[in-house]
């Protein structure tokens, strides 16, 4: 019966102490949250961990939800920040391993290692570095469009804005990303010289 209640009604019941209302809210949005988490994470296990963290964070801060936007939009912001935090922590742990692995490869197979792979890692590094320097709105749209491979309509639905607005924001975000990349690469060239 509770599944026919609106998100707002389920939130009110949860805040009044009804735990099963929150369980219904989780069931209603778990596929959405998992799908978004999976777009950020590379593996199913990481996505499940992110999704679980999101629902815990949402539960803890449910009283701060003001209802000015849809619950799914509010929940998405939690998914985004949780996923970014998770990926930063994971990247810190894996970057050092990757660097060591590359070093060993160069040492043992001087002429045999894949220069294309190293070049792709370098491109990916500079791109990720530039995305991290963007404002959260710009980084979100770039990430959803390119890494999440979502259409303008899907992004509009997720963010609760018009598809034309997404198109404009994506254009501006690309421009800012280009500026960040040019600035970062110019700095790298100066450091090499």
Q: What is the pLDDT of residues 39-92, one digit of tens each?
A: 777 788 998 999 999 999 999 999 998 887 778 878 887 888 888 888 888 766
**d(Cα 14, Cα 40) in Å, to the nearest integer?**
29
Please list the residue range(s) of the chain that carry CATH number 1.10.10.10.
114-193
Instruction: Dump pLDDT digits (tens) for 93-150.
Output: 544 444 444 444 444 444 444 445 555 566 777 787 888 888 877 888 888 788 767 7
DSSP-derived secondary structure letter, 145: I
Report the residue count for the chain.
Answer: 193
Please list the residue range(s) of the chain that carry CATH number 1.10.1740.10.
1-112
Residue 28 near residue 71, CB atoms below 8 Å: no
The structure's pTM equals 0.52
Fold adopted by 114-193? Arc Repressor Mutant, subunit A (1.10.10)
Backbone angles phi, psi at 98, to 5 degrees: -60, -40
Tokens of 183: 């600035």
CATH class of domain segment(s) 1-112: mainly alpha
Q: Look at residue 27 in the predicted model and tell me its pLDDT.
A: 94
Contacts by residues 160-166 (CB-CB < 8 Å, ≥ 24 positions apart): 160/69, 160/70, 160/72, 160/73, 166/141
Question: Quick one: how many helices (H) and strands (E) in the chain?
Answer: 8, 0
**d(Cα 22, Cα 27) in Å, to the nearest integer?**
9
């Amino acid at each position: 019966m509770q599944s026919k209640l609106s998100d707002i009604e389920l939130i009110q019941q949860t805040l009044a102490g009804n735990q099963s209302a929150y369980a219904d809210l989780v069931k209603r949005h778990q596929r959405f949250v998992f799908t978004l988490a999976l777009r950020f994470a590379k593996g199913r296990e990481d996505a499940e961990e992110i999704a679980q963290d999101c629902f815990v964070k949402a539960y803890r801060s449910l009283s701060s939800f003001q209802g000015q936007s849809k619950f799914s939009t509010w929940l998405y912001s939690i998914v985004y920040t949780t996923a970014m935090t998770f990926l930063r922590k994971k990247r810190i742990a894996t970057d050092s391993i990757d660097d060591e692995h590359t070093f060993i490869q160069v040492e043992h197979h001087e002429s045999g290692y894949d220069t294309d792979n190293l070049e792709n890692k370098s491109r990916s590094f500079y791109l990720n570095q530039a995305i991290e320097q963007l404002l959260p709105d710009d980084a979100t749209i770039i990430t959803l469009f390119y890494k999440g491979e979502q259409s303008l309509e899907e992004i509009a639905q997720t963010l609760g804005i018009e598809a034309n607005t997404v198109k404009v924001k994506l254009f501006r975000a690309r421009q800012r990303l280009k500026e960040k990349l040019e600035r970062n690469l110019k700095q790298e060239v100066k450091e090499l010289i």
